[in-house]
Structure 1
Amino acid sequence: MEIRTGLFYLFSAILLFAAFRVITARNPVYAALFLVLTFFQASAVWLLLRAEFLAISLVLVYVGAVMVLFLFVVMMLDINIDTIRRGFWNHFPLAATIGALIALEMAAVLMGGFRTGEDRPAVAAAAVQAGQQLSNTKELGRLLYTEYLFPLEIAAVILLVAIVAAIALTHRSRKDSKHIDPSIQVRVKAADRVRLVKMPVMRPAPPEAPAAHVETKA
């Protein structure tokens, strides 16, 4: 067995273990850390496939930005794990059905991609023999903006809707919010905010009241 094949099996095994621990870890922080490990192993697999641009993009975008944000959010939120686990079995049938449907769809897409991409290695080998230097970044851009332009636009619209929804949920009016109108802050004067009060440096202590004597009868 070649060393590349051995590395592929090693990275794939760690990737599957980390992905399994993402959904089985009891602590959400541990789940996020296992997801970081999953991304690193996927990046290593892409490096073995000579997709350097995708590997670096995965590390920089997801591990360097998205997962750091997830960790900050998870650690700052006060999540009650016991409350979340109470309704697990009630929602398990629906979640299992949706998971099986997604798995079937991914299998159909992957099998279709394998069938249609059989001639691509031959084209790449012919280009290398002809002396043309292939760039996976250039080929990725060409495919995204030619054959996959419509799915790319749909993904962009979905991300835009997600951004707008996140902003709308953040800026919604709540009773416990301490939001202040910026126009009111601009019109505030210094005299309305600060008041100088002159007090004497030393002030005599008030006289002590005489203690009341209580007579007790034997």
Structure 2
Amino acid sequence: MTFEPATLFAIFFYAFAGILVLAALQVITSRNPVNSALFLMLSFFCASGLWMLLRAEFLSLVLILVYVGAVMVLFLFVVMMLDLDLAHLRRDFKKYLPVAFLIGAVIVMELSIVLIRGFIGTTVPLQPMMEEMGGVSNTQALGRLVFVDYVYAFEIAGLILLVAIIAAVALTLRRRKDSKSQIIADQVAVNPADRMRMVKMDSEMDAKQDQRGKTGGDQK
């Protein structure tokens, strides 16, 4: 039994897409954060397979090496080492549910607009590849678009991610009374005279005191 290339493509596409949707649902519905992280890794694998079918080999390999091989492993270890209070996290779930529905509706609307404009009623790409990039690989074409045509948007995205990292660290920073940490500013501004005091003593006086101590001990 043989299959045509188009049939194999359709089989792998629907298999990867179906597993990706199920894994994404498990990421947000699983009660165990470790299971959520594992399902997120599975969704990354399926997305990498879809990109490989679309002949975007560079993006597929980068997704496996960077996200699955580094970022998600780090997330998994952090989730497993942290002692998460799930009861405390679920306590305010209903309180923020309306805001979550509102943000979810906005995201669904944006994705719908992109899909409608990009796929429905179109037979050619909205922005065809330039003639000078026709003979290059997809990696070179992607680098040209990211670091030349959209370099300012790329830098702004990097700044936004930097601000998000700083905000996450600031929000999760907890000052405990029993924790010990260095205060670098106080160490730099310290005065040596406040930390060390030189005392001059006569050596003969020390010897006499030692002898008095010994004789007192012998008498006892």
- Regarding TM over 0.5, the answer is yes
TM-score by length of 2: 0.70
- Cα distance in 1 for partners of 2:127, 2:172 equals 51
TM-score in terms of structure 1 length: 0.71
Instruction: Tell me the equivalent position of 1:100.
Output: 105
- Map 1:6-155; keep pairs closer than 5 Å: 6-114=11-119, 118-120=123-125, 133-155=135-157
Q: Which runs of 5+ in 2 are unaligned?
A: 1-5, 197-220
Change (3 A) 1:96 1:47: same
Q: Measured at CA, do residues 122 and 25 of structure 1 come closer, stay the same or move farther in structure 2, by a change above 3 Å? A: closer
**How far apart are the structure 1 equivalents of 2:30 and 2:8?**
32
Tell me how large the CA RMSD over aligned residues is: 3.2
Q: CA 1:168/1:84 → structure 2, altered by over 3 Å: closer, same or farther? A: closer
Separation in 2, partners of 1:175, 1:116: 63
Distance 1:162 1:180 in 2: 25
For residue 158 of structure 1, report the CA deviation from its aligned partner. 0.7
Structure 1's unaligned 5+ residue stretches are: 190-218
CA contact (8 A) 2:118 2:126 kept: no
Which residue number corresponds to residue 159 of structure 1?
161
Identity of aligned residues (%): 51
Q: Deviations over 1:116-165 (max 9, x none)?
A: 985449967x97xxxx6441101111111344333212201112223433
Partners of 2:86 and 2:175 lie apart in 1 by: 27
Change (3 A) 1:117 1:133: farther
Looking at structure 1, the residues matched to 68 and 97 of structure 2 have their Cα atoms a distance apart, in angstroms, of 29
What is the total number of aligned residue pairs between the two structures? 182
Structure 1: how far apart are the matches of 2:114 and 2:102? Answer: 19
Task: Letter of the 2:93 partner, please give it.
Answer: F
